[in-house]
Structure 1
């Protein structure tokens, strides 16, 4: 049975009683380059909090970098017990997590916090049971909507993508680029700086969060904020490995996981996105535009329907899932005051 991703507050005496034996040692592979802000803002503080509250029940050892865990192998590393906890973006493994890619659907506005709440709502309703059955999510890491960025070319409308080579991170984003006459490229984030610098690519769809750490502000000049789809990451364990933990160790992890934590992470990511966009704007030589609301509405009515239909075909029972996602996202946005 799926364990619900809820922030269960188990009895403190059970969670925090010292073990007579040595602590359960868990290696946490973040898969992030050491300088990535996500380590400082989310991953390391979480591990330190668990260790501080464990009272000897468990010890998490954080390993950054991409030698141990990376975007292509994070699932295998956990299942092979090379690491016991890992972070990975579900979009980097679309064949394994097709339904989870509902958070990448574009033209649906919402903050990372709202996306966090919506994703957890669907998770707890069992929407992702089949593809997450082997895993124990500890918390999800939502990212806000991507924007469009070009180097040495103005962008004030999506038609400015025509003839451009645009780096994207999901099949849905690829469909959007193609719909506007561009050529989608699949180039991983650490290699995007070089691709833009050399002219291999003309731009990308990306959140502003990536810009400071990967210096993308040095190789882009023009930006347009438009909801081009979010993405969701996951900090997780192999379910069998998790279930085999001593009660004390499992209790402290359960007390530091769940949907409340996921929502907090979403709010942290929103702050990070705002600070990163301000950083780009302040660095000089950049123009940041917002898509015209009328164009956005037209996109929803025109190519949006074909994009939504394409997701419905890719994901099992995708049409119904997309409707669930829209409803959950709207409910989350109303709860936090983004819409009435």
Structure 2
């Protein structure tokens, strides 16, 4: 009986430990407002889940859910605890974010991965003091690749943009659009296909990857490319602070050290670059689609526009209390490092 009693005691201890370990496991809810096949879901969120599972030995995982709230409401959704994690596009909430416009400026040299890494670093060094994401835990910052013009009519010169009814996402895209004469139409990204298909808009300003993400090859057969882009777009991935606080100390430490911040921001940028490359290839293969690169004269003309927009935005950031020129210079420097420059 002694051996049997010892066996029962050991079994009970083992079950107790197993129950304790299971109690620490967390399955988080990630809210998405993008189509299921979009790169944000397939590459970024799935990548985030993989990173979290690896860092915590499978104790922290997540599932992606659609339709919990419209795009502009995602930050409030996380703050209210209705989702644990979500992604926001800063331009959807005019006036709420100022420092985030820094990464959206035209003229940066480098891909989305380099820009996203630089973005996180300058945020940590300078922009965080604005506390623009207060109420939630910021776990990643990113910008998509260069924003271009996708239209359902021929656009071959910068002058063709004047008077073009164009869906603009907000932020610096709106500043640039006004400067080149676009007539801005404000609709969320998930509505771009029907907006173009119905004729409510002639064009949309987006990164090239969205030709796949939102099937623009079907409704915007013409792609006008300004080398370096007309603008970029600023995104943040947010986590409920309450959810983060509910994790064990070991889980929080692992996620902060191995996942959140620069590692995840880098993954996001690389995913944007992949989507752009895939979309360029798909556009070249799609029947009836054309790609027109801006002429040297148009590139020179746009450089003047870009300089004016940059001065305007840096003044806004300076008014918020940040050394805007130093922040801009840091983005340029960090992007050069990530791109192999000095």
Pair 1:172–1:262, CA change in 2 (3 A): closer
In the TM superposition, residue 312 of structure 1 has moved relative to its aligned partner by 3.5
- Corresponding position of 2:26: 24
In the TM superposition, residue 53 of structure 1 has moved relative to its aligned partner by 4.3
Pair 1:23–1:336, CA change in 2 (3 A): closer
- Corresponding position of 1:88: 88
Rounded to whole Å, the distance in 1 between the matches of 2:82 and 2:161 is 42
In the TM superposition, residue 47 of structure 1 has moved relative to its aligned partner by 0.8
Query: How do 1:145-294 residues align onto structure 2 when only pairs under 5 Å count?
Result: 145-153=146-154, 155-226=155-226, 227-254=229-256, 255-294=258-297
After TM superposition, the structure 1 stretch with the greater mean CA deviation from structure 2, 88-97 or 68-77, is 88-97
Pair 1:222–1:55, CA change in 2 (3 A): closer
Pair 1:146–1:325, CA change in 2 (3 A): farther
- Corresponding position of 1:125: 125
- Corresponding position of 2:135: 134
In the TM superposition, residue 177 of structure 1 has moved relative to its aligned partner by 2.4
In the TM superposition, residue 165 of structure 1 has moved relative to its aligned partner by 0.5
CA contact (8 A) 2:314 2:325 kept: no
> What whole-Å deviation, never above 9, does each CA across 1:178-201 have from its counterpart, x for those lacking one?
323331111222211122122211
Q: Alpha carbon RMSD of aligned pairs, Å?
A: 2.4
- Corresponding position of 1:114: 114
Given the alignment, which residue of 325, 328, 331 partners 1:326? 328
In the TM superposition, residue 332 of structure 1 has moved relative to its aligned partner by 2.9
Aligned length: 319
- Corresponding position of 1:97: 97
User: Secondary structure of 1:163's match?
Assistant: coil
After TM superposition, the structure 1 stretch with the greater mean CA deviation from structure 2, 221-230 or 168-177, is 168-177
Rounded to whole Å, the distance in 2 between the matches of 1:73 and 1:338 is 38
User: Secondary structure of 1:152's match?
Assistant: coil
Pairing 1:37–2:43 present: no
Higher helix share: 2
Pair 1:185–1:314, CA change in 2 (3 A): farther
Rounded to whole Å, the distance in 2 between the matches of 1:279 and 1:21 is 46
In the TM superposition, residue 294 of structure 1 has moved relative to its aligned partner by 4.1
In the TM superposition, residue 56 of structure 1 has moved relative to its aligned partner by 5.6
In the TM superposition, residue 241 of structure 1 has moved relative to its aligned partner by 4.1
> What whole-Å deviation, never above 9, does each CA across 1:31-73 have from its counterpart, x for those lacking one?
3222323211121132134235424643x332232x2143111
TM-score normalized by structure 2?
A: 0.84
Rounded to whole Å, the distance in 2 between the matches of 1:274 and 1:175 is 26
Pair 1:51–1:311, CA change in 2 (3 A): same
CA contact (8 A) 1:135 1:239 kept: yes
Pair 1:117–1:205, CA change in 2 (3 A): same
Rounded to whole Å, the distance in 2 between the matches of 1:319 and 1:105 is 19
Rounded to whole Å, the distance in 2 between the matches of 1:269 and 1:210 is 10
User: Structure 2 regions of 5+ residues with no counterpart?
Assistant: 1-19
CA contact (8 A) 1:311 1:318 kept: no
Pair 1:316–1:30, CA change in 2 (3 A): farther
